[in-house]
Amino acid sequence: MGKDQLIFNNPINFGVIDLSTSQVNKDLPFTSVAGVFIGAPKVDIYDGEIVIKTYLLGSGLALTGTNTIGNSKTLTVTFQGTDFSTKKNKTLIGKCTFFVAGDIEVVFNLKIV
């Protein structure tokens, strides 16, 4: 299975991503050729079961490329370490909705160091 083919009932787990509270503009890009990103993609950051930060297009999420099937496009989430300064030494959870509204298709751990 190619990296574009996500199984929506079994989200792809990107593992752990470290973020220092002093980091500025740490980008996490997601590139697709086969899929089309929905009009309102989002990345929610959870501390336990509570959403503490949501990234939307124009607010931490940016889309580049032509968002049609067969064309390469990249959705990039940009983290600011200062957004998580009160969460130092914690591991948060990122849940991404990119292709189907309401589905969680990609998850990752965000370790604040």
Question: Is pLDDT at 10 greater than 70 in this prediction?
Answer: no
* Domain regions of the chain by residue span: 13-112
pTM of the model: 0.85
In CATH, the number for domain 13-112 is: 2.60.40
Question: Is pLDDT at 63 greater than 90 in this prediction?
Answer: yes
- Distances 32 to 36, 52, 63, 90, 94 between C-alpha atoms, Å: 8, 27, 11, 30, 19
Question: Is pLDDT at 69 greater than 80 in this prediction?
Answer: yes
Q: How confident is the model at residue 5, as a pLDDT?
A: 47
